[in-house]
Amino acid sequence: MDTARQLLAVAAALGWASGLRLYLVMFLTGAAGYFGWVELPQGLHVLQHPAMLGASGFMLFVEFFADKIPGVDTLWDMVHTLVRIPAGAALAAAVFGADQATWATLAALLGGTLAATSHVAKATTRAAVNTSPEPFSNIGMSLAGDAFVPTVLWLSWTHPVLLAAVLVLSVLVAIGLIVVLGKFLRALLRRASGWLRGSQPSV
């Protein structure tokens, strides 16, 4: 992997996917490097260390189930707001390493922005889905994320131009979801707040 275009594609994919499934990103990237499926940039070699693979694999196992339990998934997303976004920026920057400081900085900004966008879209969507009592839509959304992340990572290594098109479309969809579902959740909260105030006994 020696072209700036492909490196930038990998950085963008790592950032975007980290906002959805950080530990899946870390484990798959590390495993790909460990088994020799791809040649990781020097800055990402830490992901293929057996200890890191064990840690990311364990957290992937925990997240896989936490993400499919209504309510728990929203709490998990809230906690990981402080983890996914900076991690996405760090992974994107690590693609270029310290020797390419300018590109690394740009990659960090790109990765952090993409991670923030995908994370907020995911958290908003899951919070809206959790308003439905049935668990199947929740599980379906989670499985879709499980499938989408490796697809994005694979495209970054094999078809960077196609990845760019997928990311542009994904960002547009994410922004639309944030706007529409954000309004839905705010309206729901206002109704719930009005109901609580109306149910309080008068003094």
pLDDT of residue 130: 78
pLDDT tens track for 173-190: 999 999 998 888 788 777
pLDDT at residue 183 in the model? 85
Contact 67, 138 (CB under 8 A): no
Structure tokens at 132: 């439905």
- Taking the C-alpha atoms of residue 56 and residue 71, their distance in angstroms, rounded to an integer, is 23
Over residues 146-175, the pLDDT tens digits come to: 999 999 999 999 999 999 999 999 999 999
The radius of gyration of the chain's CA atoms, rounded to the nearest angstrom, is: 19
Q: Is the pLDDT of residue 203 over 60?
A: no
